Amino acid sequence: MYALNTPIDAIDKGGKLVIFVTGLDWDQNSRQYWQSYKYVNQYKSYQDGFGNQIWGGYEDRSVLDQDFAQAVKDRLNDQNDRYYDGSLGGLSGFLKGNLSAYVRYSTGYSQGTEDAESIIKSLAHDKSGNITESIKLITHSMGGAYGKGLAQALLNYAEKHHLKGFRIAFEADFAPLNPGAQKAIKNKNMGSTFQFSHNEFVAGNDSEDGAIKMDTGSDEQLHDIQSFYKDILNLPSGSYKVVNGKIVRD
């Protein structure tokens, strides 16, 4: 059931860090995971060392088609980023039990514990030492559970060290795998969790406990992250509320 007129805490416009957590990262290149390419037929010429053309003709070339991560950062006006592999090592992650949401959560928590100090130090602070930037968390598929573990570790670190101003503004889960085994984090320093799911056979359309389920009915119902491209416009930017499964400015 979609959220109806749900009031949501304001998102600060000064946040700078976006953390992306992949699903099954075949090439273990987390940045490229969020990009899609297409082949185009382009004219290409070659010259010798004297500038004389020695060959020219058309050839198929792979060019960037869509960059999901960049589009998210542009939407949020946050250009600082970090990338994590939520599949625990691509295909080798199967040997680590990455099909289990609990295993992915635990691994994300361990990594978050290890990286918490460096992540939080990278955020801007005011003269009094208060943190003035928030974090946004974007996950896909296997990355949903991993991202929650990562987020919980950061929240625990901030609480343990009494860090003022630390906040994860929101988490957006796209096609979270094993959604029924996941719960949105409830913490005073954690914003809402938004679930964008399609009616597809890989991850399904079950609800994450405590997440706000967004309306994706007009999408092509696929698992691939690029099939959620237009939903980027439904990510919160500034103060907002949710009406009939859509995020709108308050």
Give tens-digit pLDDT for 79-105. Answer: 899 999 999 999 999 999 999 999 999
Domains, the chain: 6-28+53-249 (3.40.50)
| Confidence at residue 109, expressed as pLDDT on a 0 to 100 scale | 98
Of 78 and 71, more confident: 71
Q: pLDDT grade, residue 149 (50/70/90)? A: very high
pTM: 0.83
Q: pLDDT grade, residue 170 (50/70/90)? A: very high
Helices then strands, each counted (H, E), the chain: 4, 11
Query: pLDDT of 51-60, one tens digit each?
Result: 777 777 777 6
The mean pLDDT value of the chain amounts to 86
Q: Which of 60-74, 138-152, 159-173 comes out lowest in average pLDDT? A: 60-74
Rounded Cα–Cα distance for residues 72 and 56 (Å): 38
Q: Is the pLDDT of residue 7 over 70?
A: no
Q: pLDDT grade, residue 3 (50/70/90)? A: very low
Of 10 and 33, more confident: 33
| Confidence at residue 212, expressed as pLDDT on a 0 to 100 scale | 96
* Cα–Cα separations (whole angstroms), residue 7 to 4, 163, 191, 192, 231: 9, 26, 12, 10, 20
Q: Is the pLDDT of residue 36 over 90?
A: no
Residue ranges in the chain assigned as alpha helix (H): 30-33, 68-76, 101-121, 143-160
| Confidence at residue 60, expressed as pLDDT on a 0 to 100 scale | 64
User: What is the mean predicted confidence (pLDDT) over 14-25?
Assistant: 86
| Confidence at residue 64, expressed as pLDDT on a 0 to 100 scale | 59
Question: Long-range contacts for 182-186 (Cβ within 8 Å, ≥24 apart)?
Answer: 182/101, 182/105, 182/144, 182/145, 182/148, 182/208, 182/209, 182/211, 183/148, 183/208, 183/209, 183/210, 184/148, 184/208, 184/209, 184/210, 184/211, 185/148, 185/151, 185/152, 185/155, 186/210
End-to-end, the C-alpha distance of the chain in Å comes to 22
Q: pLDDT grade, residue 11 (50/70/90)? A: very low
Q: pLDDT grade, residue 237 (50/70/90)? A: confident
